[in-house]
Amino acid sequence: MPRAGAGGRPLVAAHDVVVRTPAGAVVLGGVSVSIGRERIGVVGVNGVGETTLARVLAGEVAPESGRVERTGRVGYLPQRVEDELGDRPVAAVFGRRCAEGLEGTDLAARARVEMAWVDPRARMSALSGGERVRIALAALIASEPDVLVLDEPTNNLDAAGREALYALVASWRGGVAAISHDRRLLGMMERIVELTPRRGEVRVGVDRVALLDQHAAALATEQSVLENFMRLNPGVGEGEARGALARFLFRGHEAERRVGALSGGERLRATLGCVMGGSSPPRLLMLDEPGNHLDLESLRELEGALREFGGTMIVVSHDEAFLEAVGVQERVALGASAEGAERGRRAWERVEKRRIG
């Protein structure tokens, strides 16, 4: 099980890190970033040094200057798994001999990424790109890291593989740093940092972003509503958590219900409570058809909560009454025509720019 940093310190932190190429060109220039028990997205234009930063955090690249502190164990998923793992047998990826097969912890980790059975003697080169990523991710989980550093983890995954990854990230109790251009994965992050070409500095954009999608992906289905709240709001005591959830109608034993047993509307309400009820509510809230599973009473409660929200909202909805009730000020219509598609593309680009700074 992932362990918290000693004394509440970050699990891994880079301070004024400088990395150069053998020719002397600056790849990272004075980068500082820290990761605790939270989900952080790292973005930037291609070639700006995101992979180098990931390798520095994982301890695979030593900086020329600056320092990296680790109070927890870091698990690193490289962007090119095939280059890192070569043509070894599957069992060797888990640190086992082929004759021994996989142990119970390996099989449990494989189940968490919904990996079908693979012969431990199979060579990695015989597997598809998506299978290699899942095997590598399962091996990471089996090693019980405190922080997952994921470099473009969805690149080779099919739809089912991506869903398994999203579920893993949503339920992970340690830290996550995801270098990605996957919009859904970035929408699950609690904080977005941008690596810029200017001296390789890290620029913090919106410091807390929350996505409320139709499937309540931010919540771990095997945990209770209360457990999810405390996971998403580190440092909040149980009494304070229960008080916050009570405002979203999860009182007493209702807060102890397992998320997987909730209805669609209850899940959305639970997500809203976990995200907005903490001491540091999001500054940007993105909602994808939020009224789809709600009854009228729950819909009115959601509208009231959103009217009181003091941050910025981006709402995808076909419910005109809902949009009016929550006070939407600017609308973007995504049409089927080429002109409408181009307007939609430009609008999304503006949203992305605002979201990451």
Residue tagged 């909730």 (tokens):
262
Please tell me the distance from the alpha carbon of residue 222 to that of residue 258, in angstroms, as a whole number.
Answer: 6
Residues 6+ apart with CB under 8 A from 14: 31, 32, 33, 34, 53, 56, 57, 63, 66, 67, 68
Confidence label for 344 from pLDDT (cuts 50, 70 and 90)? very low
In eight-state DSSP terms, residue 206 is: -
What is the DSSP secondary-structure string of 92-129? HHTT--TTT---HHHHHHHHHTTPPP--TTSBGGGS-H
Tens-digit pLDDT profile for residues 225-266: 999 898 888 778 899 999 989 988 899 999 999 988 887 678
Please tell me the distance from the alpha carbon of residue 176 to that of residue 74, in angstroms, as a whole number.
Answer: 10
Which candidate, 179, 187, 196, 183, places its Cα nearest to that of 54? Answer: 179
> Partners of 316 in the beta sheet?
288
Task: Report the chain's mean pLDDT, rounded to a whole number.
Answer: 76
What is the structure's pLDDT at 64? 92
What is the structure's pLDDT at 70? 92
Residue 105, token pair as written in the block:
């912890």
Tens-digit pLDDT profile for residues 87-146: 777 777 776 544 454 554 445 555 555 555 567 777 777 777 777 888 888 888 878 889
Q: Residues 245, 238: contact at Cβ < 8 Å?
A: no
- What is each CA distance from 219 to 77, 216, 241, 280, in whole angstroms? 23, 6, 15, 17
Q: Cα 246 to the chain's mean position, in Å? A: 26
- How many Cβ atoms sit within 10 Å of the Cβ of residue 67? 10
Average pLDDT over residues 266-286: 80
Domains in the chain, CATH or no CATH each: 6-205 (3.40.50.300), 218-326 (3.40.50.300)
Three-state SS at 8: helix
Average pLDDT over residues 42-57: 84
Q: Say which residue, 341 or 110, is predicted with more confidence.
A: 110
pTM given for the model: 0.55
> Partners of 195 in the beta sheet?
202
Please tell me the distance from the alpha carbon of residue 179 to that of residue 47, in angstroms, as a whole number.
Answer: 12
Average pLDDT over residues 141-166: 84
Q: Hey, CA dihedral for 238, 240, 242, 248, is it positive or negative? A: negative
Q: What is the CA radius of gyration of the chain?
A: 21
Q: To 10 degrees, what angle do helices 238-246 and 264-276 make?
A: 130
First to last CA, the chain: 34
Q: Cα 347 to the chain's mean position, in Å? A: 24
At residue 328, what is the residue type?
V
Report the DSSP pairing between strands 26-35 and 12-20: antiparallel
- What is each CA distance from 138 to 75, 109, 133, in whole angstroms? 11, 5, 9
Taking 50 as the threshold, does the pLDDT of residue 354 lie above it?
A: no
Residues 6+ apart with CB under 8 A from 160: 114
What is the structure's pLDDT at 149? 93
Please tell me the distance from the alpha carbon of residue 12 to that of residue 146, in angstroms, as a whole number.
Answer: 9
